[in-house]
Amino acid sequence: MTQPAPASPVYWRFNPEVFRLIGIKCNDCGHISYPRTKICHECGSLNLEEYKLAKKGTVHTYCVNWAPPPNFEPPITPVIVDLESGGRYQGLMTETATPEDVKVNSKVEMVLRKLTTDRGLNVYGYKFRLVEED
Amino acid sequence: MAGSIKDRVAIIGMGCTRFGELWDKGPTDLVVDSVEEAYTDAGIEAKDIEALWGGSIFTAHGGRFFTEALRMQYIPATHVVNACASGQDAIRNAAYAVAAGIYDIVLAIGVEKIKDEGMSGLPGMDNRTHTHAVATMPGVFAIMATKYFHRYGLTPEEGKTMLAKISVKSHANGSLNPKAHLRNVLTIERVLNAPIIAWPLGLFDCCGVSDGGAAAILTSAERAKEFRKDPVYIKALQICGTPSSGRITTDYDYTHVEESYRAGAAAYREAGVTDPLKEISMAEVHDCFSITEAVTMEDLQFSPRGKVKDDIDAGTFELNGELPVQPDGGLKCFGHPIGASGIRMVYELYLQLQGRADKRQIKDPKLGLAHNLGHEPYAPLCSVCIVGL
Ligand SMILES: [Zn+2]
């Protein structure tokens, strides 16, 4: 699968979703989806509104990938994060001393980082870092 | 549902190439070699085929690829693209055309010349805009293993040992199969000590990367015995598409695949199976990774939820067990030339049902199940095919 170039229209269309964390909330049943859907997953309604997601959440699951996609340096730690606002985000960990610091149920928060360099252009997006728990 | 495919269509001939890094074979070779074996097996000639359906993701571009390779003379040809279920969906479309009474003899074929694609593993298909960087195929299945271990209280060592036994079993079967790509016998220690690909999955938790082709010739149940005394009948053909719930909702648990469960349940209804563990004699399931096979045993109702480890430890799925799984060696030993895999699975069930599986022969099988899982576990397309005598 060819990756779209970083300056291509697909990135522009994804901007609200990727950088402003806009998901959708169903006005009929309250279901929250991220990434956005055109039709409510739960009830089939088209009556949806934009819904801004929280930047904090909990690690649902993860792996430590030593053979990552092109343009990523191994190892990467992909995480599936259930956000406090509802919605689920697939992203990468950052600022961990070792990948073993990440656990199921770890509390994490999003920070804007350079994700990779692709065809000479920087690609930015959110990564997750561990939140100190007291 | 208005109808059922059960016992309306029969397989009268099949062929399958050796799978492997077939540097000296091109896509046309894989098509012709598998189809010629199927013609011979069925006792028919190319001119008897009235229509064909061909499954492939990378290698074919339109039905023309298949008619050109086979020098088919102006017959209808359709290219089926449906992820890892492409091969089974080719069989499904071909079977439906026969059941509808449109054709008498049709060809379903699957092929993939992966080694011409310059890949050392299948790419993630979900990487648009880099935000889903989790998505290498080992990565998206590794996150299932992490969650499965956590949910059911397995330490990483216990979980990885459970998975290692799956790969050891499949290689034991594959070692008996001259058409398998990987025929080495593994030990649990070797699996556990292999390099990590995407923790918790190591090298031997991942299937091979191989070229291959497989083909099936189908006719109506009424005509089947004109061609052979032991045709294999189609009992169920189900495909379950996904609303992609695992990607967008927090309900999905990453420890099961809903689409596998639903495709299986629908196939059992169609085939009239009420106790899968007792009634299914053998299964070829989509073991792209060891964790996939583990979870699939639960999704297909062979093991209770969270309990597959007990059945693995008991040897239930070994060649001499209660329900042999991957008797031919599975994706683990055949690799995953995507379009070919689903038909390769049915080829093994077909040989077993006819008593032609040589050293791998299962005693007196009645029903065999083949299962494919396409895309990622949180948003897959799954197929289940049941065949029997
Ligand atoms: Zn709704």
The domain spanning residue A50 has which CATH number?
2.40.50
| C-beta atoms of A35 and B134 within 8 A | no
**Best residue in B122, B150, B250 for a mutation probing chain A (most A CBs within 10 Å):** B250
pLDDT value of position B131: 55
Can B333 be counted among the known catalytic residues?
no
pLDDT value of position A36: 86
Question: What is the architecture, at CATH level 2, of domain B136-206+232-388?
Answer: 3-Layer(aba) Sandwich (3.40)
Task: Note whether residue A94 is domain-resident.
Answer: yes
pLDDT value of position B386: 98
| C-beta atoms of A82 and B250 within 8 A | yes
Could you give the number of structural domains in chain A? 1
> Which residue has better confidence, B40 or B245?
B40
Minimal CA–CA distance to B254: which of A104, A98, A85?
Answer: A104
To the nearest whole number, what is the mean pLDDT of chain B? 95
Task: Note whether residue A4 is domain-resident.
Answer: no
Of residues B124, B145, B248, nearest to A33 (C-beta): B248
Q: Is B154 on the interface with A (CB under 8 A)?
A: no
Closest CA–CA distance from residue B254 to any residue of chain A (Å)? 8
Of residues B129, B142, B200, nearest to A11 (C-beta): B129
Q: Is B138 on the interface with A (CB under 8 A)?
A: yes
Kindly report which listed range (A86-90, B76-80, B168-172, B321-325) carries the lowest average pLDDT score: A86-90
Give pLDDT tens digits for B75-129: 999 999 999 999 999 999 999 999 999 999 999 999 999 888 877 666 555 555 5
Of residues B125, B130, B139, nearest to A115 (C-beta): B130
pLDDT, average across residues B274-297: 98
Highest mean pLDDT (candidates A112-116, B166-170, B206-210): B166-170
pLDDT, average across residues B352-380: 96
pLDDT value of position B124: 56
Q: Residue B274 class from Cβ within 10 Å (0-12 exposed, 13-18 middle, 19+ buried)?
A: exposed
| C-beta atoms of B146 and A92 within 8 A | no
- Pairwise CA distance, residues A37 & A24, whole Å: 7
Q: Is B119 on the interface with A (CB under 8 A)?
A: no
Give pLDDT tens digits for A1-10: 466 777 778 7
* A35 Cα to the center of ligand 1, angstroms: 15
Q: Which domain holds residue A69?
A: 9-130
Residue B318 Cα distances to B94, B170, B284, B314, B327, angstroms? 32, 8, 12, 9, 8
Task: Note whether residue A3 is domain-resident.
Answer: no
Residues of B in contact with A14 (CB under 8 A): 128-129, 131
Class at the top of the CATH hierarchy for domain B9-116+213-226: alpha beta
Task: Note whether residue A44 is domain-resident.
Answer: yes
Active-site option among B79, B256, B336, B375: B336
Can B130 be counted among the known catalytic residues?
no
Task: Note whether residue A2 is domain-resident.
Answer: no
* A66 Cα to the center of ligand 1, angstroms: 39
B224 is written with which tokens? 């089947």
* A27 Cα to the center of ligand 1, angstroms: 7
* A48 Cα to the center of ligand 1, angstroms: 8
* A24 Cα to the center of ligand 1, angstroms: 10
Judge whether residue A106 has pLDDT over 80: yes
Angle CA(B11)–CA(B269)–CA(B86) in degrees, nearest 5?
50
> Which residue has better confidence, B92 or B133?
B92
Task: Note whether residue A79 is domain-resident.
Answer: yes
pLDDT value of position B248: 80
Radius of gyration of chain B (CA): 19
Q: Hey, is A114 helix, strand or coil?
A: strand
Q: Is B250 on the interface with A (CB under 8 A)?
A: yes
* A79 Cα to the center of ligand 1, angstroms: 27
Judge whether residue A118 has pLDDT over 90: no
Task: Note whether residue A1 is domain-resident.
Answer: no
- Pairwise CA distance, residues A109 & A77, whole Å: 15
Residue B260 Cα distances to A109, B4, B306, B336, B379, angstroms? 33, 19, 16, 18, 11
Of residues B199, B243, B245, nearest to A63 (C-beta): B199
| C-beta atoms of A68 and B136 within 8 A | yes
- Pairwise CA distance, residues B346 & B266, whole Å: 18
Judge whether residue B133 has pLDDT over 70: no
DSSP B18: P
Nearest residue of A to residue B58, measured between CA atoms: A1
Size of interface A-B (CB pairs under 8 A): 126
**Best residue in B58, B197, B249, B255 for a mutation probing chain A (most A CBs within 10 Å):** B249
Q: What is the pTM of this model?
A: 0.95
- Pairwise CA distance, residues B12 & A125, whole Å: 55
Percent of chain B with pLDDT strictly greater than 90: 90
pLDDT value of position A117: 81
Closest CA–CA distance from residue A134 to any residue of chain B (Å)? 23
pLDDT value of position A121: 85
Of residues B130, B198, B245, nearest to A63 (C-beta): B198
Give pLDDT tens digits for A42-89: 999 999 999 999 999 999 999 999 998 877 889 999 999 999 999 888
* A30 Cα to the center of ligand 1, angstroms: 6
Q: List, by residue range, all CATH 3.40.47.10 domains of chain B.
A: 9-116+213-226, 136-206+232-388
CB-CB neighbours of B361 under 10 Å: 15
To the nearest whole number, what is the mean pLDDT of chain A? 89
Q: Residue A70 class from Cβ within 10 Å (0-12 exposed, 13-18 middle, 19+ buried)?
A: exposed
Judge whether residue B74 has pLDDT over 80: yes
| C-beta atoms of B123 and A69 within 8 A | yes
Kindly report which listed range (B65-74, B96-105, B208-217, B237-246) carries the lowest average pLDDT score: B237-246
